[in-house]
Each structure stands twice: as structure tokens, then as C-alpha cells.
Amino acid sequence: MQTRSLGTQGLTVSAIGYGAMGTVIAFGPSDDTESIAAIRRAHELGVTHFDTAELYGWGEGEKLLGHALAPIRDEVTIATKFGFTETFGADSRPEHIREVVDNSLRHLNTDTIDLLYQHQPDPNVPIEDVVGAMKEFVDAGKVKYLGLSNADEDTIRRAHAVHPISALQNEYSIFDLGAEPLFPVLEELGIGFVAYSPIARGFLTGAAEPRDQYTPDDFRQRVGWWKPENFDKNVAIVDELTKFAESKGATVSQLALAWLLAKKDYIVPIPGSRKPNRVAENVAAADLTLTAEDLARIAEIAPMGGVGGRWE
């Protein structure tokens, strides 16, 4: 697997990472044994970057990932995030950050977090204070690199002025183009981009089902692409993308991931799957190279992304 740099501070990761959210929340019931097998399969196939968060099960996701990676901890980089209250509000108060990051280190069973993100902005805490608290962990040798997630340009600039930011993690896929206006500031400041929900929460795989097929706790119940009036239109887009992918000997999820890799050389997608065979399918996208003409064809098929927003 090729590697990519996130930022200019020295963080190097596999071109495709692994997102561990679904191992505990978001997509209905999961099986820990299968999730651990999926994580280890990713590593066997060359993935060295693994993404989790306090939010994913309030420590349960970090524990599962830490357990899965324990035998290979020194061969991988782990990212985690803080910034939520238990009722899903924002909490990036420095005292909360200190508590959450200490918990994350314990849950991950590690001495060092490779990449620590603020998960979402907190309107009540200036970003300078947030990054100041994150920097304390860098100074103590407990965190190596800093990142922001779901942040806007002003926040990125202010944060980077306090301590170098290595990565921005926002949503980006053929179905959600909303991150593109941020690319100039990332290039100016030398910040890498981690693309979350890179296969549109599973829509860009051909495996999307109408929302009533999912359990009530499945996030996709509330994603606009699955809304009944949008669903068939999005299936039609994926059918066209699938035909195009097949003409290149690839699957549509591979096309979606290769599209991200082709967009910019500082983009690292972090697809999530709890199934080892799907992990293998996704990771193989690193071998698919798309040309400018290919990108133009994809833009023709999905000029505005998916139909319906990310959330209803």
C-alpha cells in the first residue's frame, strides 16, 4: 500500500485508512469477533491508520480497537477524538479534554495517541483554548499530532496559529462535495485531509437498502440520501457509477475510494466495514488509478453529489 503524508510534521499513513465507528455504533448490531477480524485483515492488507473516537460507544470503540491492534501497536497509527457530552452536545472545555484524553489512552491501552482530533467545534470555547489543552498532551509526549474535525476555515487558521494542525477530518465523497472549498486553505497551511464517510455510509457500494430495512438505531434512518423521495434517484446514480466502475474492472466502492485518492495527494479516506471481505474489497482501491477523464465522467454522472443532504 502506498503511503501519504498528513500535514508537514511527519505523520505518514497508508493511503487508505480504517474507520472504526461502525464497530460499535451507527449501522445496527455488530459482532466484536468479526469486527476484530476486519481490523486485523485491514492491517494484513497494508492499512496502517485506524480511526476511532470517544463518542463511538463512550470508550467501548476505543477498547475494541486497542484490543484488535495490541499485537501490532508499533506498526500502526491510531487517531481518536474528543468533544461531545453524553447527550451529544459540544464540550471542548480544557478540563473536559484532559479527562477524555486520559480515558482514551487507557481505553486504547496505549502510551501515545498518534493523532488527536477535536471532533466538532464548541461554540462556547475559543479554539485557541482547545488547541492549548491539546498541546499540553503533545508537550507531555502522550499525543504526537493534532487534528480538527468538522471545522471551518476560520477555525482551522486560528488553531494552526497555536500549534501546527496535521489533519482536517471532514465528510467527503462522490455524494458529499461540501469539503472542497476548504482545500485551498489546507494547501496554503500544509494540512492533510482525512475523508470520512468516503463511501457515503455504504450508499456508494450498491448494497444500500431502503431505510425501513435498517434497525431504528441505524444512522441511515436519518440520512437524506435514504429519504424515500431520494432513494431511487441515488440508486440510479450508483447504477451508472457501477457500470463505469465495471468498465475499469472495479467495484463501485473501489471507484468511490479511488476518486478520493485521485482528487488530491493529501487525501486519506477512512472507509469502515465490519466484514473482512468488504475491507479487502475497499483496500484494493489503492491499486486503482483514475485519470482526469475518469474524474470528469464521474462528475458528469453525479454533478452535485447525492440527492438529498447528509442529514434530513
Ligand X SMILES: NC(=O)c1ccc[n+]([C@@H]2O[C@H](COP(=O)([O-])OP(=O)(O)OC[C@H]3O[C@@H](n4cnc5c(N)ncnc54)[C@H](OP(=O)(O)O)[C@@H]3O)[C@@H](O)[C@H]2O)c1
**And the C-alpha cell for 189?**
497551511
The residues, ordered by sequence, that sit 6+ positions from 249 with a Cβ below 8 Å of its Cβ are none
Asked if 253 is part of the footprint of ligand X (rule: CB under 6 A), the reply reads yes
**Contact with ligand X (CB under 6 A): which of 281, 285, 286, 288?**
281
Quote the least distance from Cβ 82 to ligand X, whole Å.
12
SS3 call for 15: coil
Contact between 41 and ligand X per CB under 6 A: no
By CB under 6 A, tell whether 274 contacts ligand X: yes
User: CB of residue 105 vs ligand X: minimum separation in angstroms?
Assistant: 18
- Among 271, 276, 305, 308, interactor with ligand X by CB under 6 A: 271
The single residue of 56, 145, 172, 266 carrying the catalytic annotation is 56
Interacting positions 173-232 with ligand X (CB under 6 A): 196-202, 205, 207
What cell was used for 216? 431504528
Residue 273 binds ligand X (CB under 6 A): yes
Q: Which residues contact 265 (CB under 8 A, 6 or more apart)?
A: 4
Is-catalytic flag, 56?
Answer: yes
As a whole number of angstroms, the distance between CA 57 and CA 55 comes to: 6
CA torsion 233→235→237→242, rounded to 10°?
-170
Cell numbers 475499469 correspond to what residue?
248
**Positive or negative torsion for Cα 30, 78, 119, 184:** negative
Q: Supply the minimum distance, in Å, between the C-beta of residue 6 and ligand X.
A: 14
- Between CA 26 and CA 30 the distance in angstroms is 10
Least CB distance to ligand X at residue 111 (A): 22
Site for ligand X in 6-25 (CB under 6 A): 19-22
Using the rule CB under 6 A, is 282 a contact of ligand X?
yes
Q: How far is residue 272's CA from residue 60's CA, in Å, rounded to a whole number?
A: 16
Q: Please, are residues 114 and 69 in contact by the beta-carbon 8 Å criterion?
A: no
CB atoms under 10 Å from CB of 181, counted, come to: 10
Among 133, 114, 113, which Cα is nearest to 122's?
Answer: 133
Residue 69 makes contact with ligand X by CB under 6 A: no
Selected range binding ligand X among 88-96, 178-186, 274-282, 286-294, rule: CB under 6 A: 274-282
In the complex, least distance from residue 253 CB atom to ligand X, rounded to whole angstroms: 4
For position 297 contacting ligand X by CB under 6 A, the verdict is no
Under the criterion CB under 6 A, does residue 278 sit at the interface with ligand X? Answer: yes
> Active-site residue numbers?
56
The footprint of ligand X (CB under 6 A) covers 19-22, 27, 51, 119, 149-150, 169, 196-202, 205, 207, 253, 270-275, 278, 281-282
